[in-house]
Amino acid sequence: MFVDEVEGEAMIDLEGEEVAQVAIAVGAILGLLKLQTENKGAIPMAELPQYITGLADEREKHGDFGAARMLHDWADVLRDDT
């Protein structure tokens, strides 16, 4: 993956494997969003970073290292916001 700037906007070029890893990470987050939507408050906001870290650890066990890295990054962002 590389980031290039074209006319002031960041352009990200993903290759096949990276696209698959992004799709896996996004799928995990969408599943979490679905859970939260269908069962409001199922996971308290304060616990979301730990939950997402658990999702990341599970993806890592399956060899989805790119997805795991993205999920860890998203968990870190949530930790920084709380």
The predicted structure's pLDDT at residue 53:
98
**What span, in angstroms and rounded, lies between the C-alpha atoms of 34 and 29?**
9
Q: What is the biggest distance separating any 2 CA atoms in the chain, rounded to whole angstroms? A: 43
- Asked if residue 4 has pLDDT above 50, the reply is no
- Asked if residue 3 has pLDDT above 50, the reply is no
| Residue 49: CB atoms within 10 Å | 19
- Asked if residue 81 has pLDDT above 70, the reply is yes
| pLDDT tens figures, 21-68 | 999 999 999 999 999 999 998 999 999 999 999 999 999 999 999 999
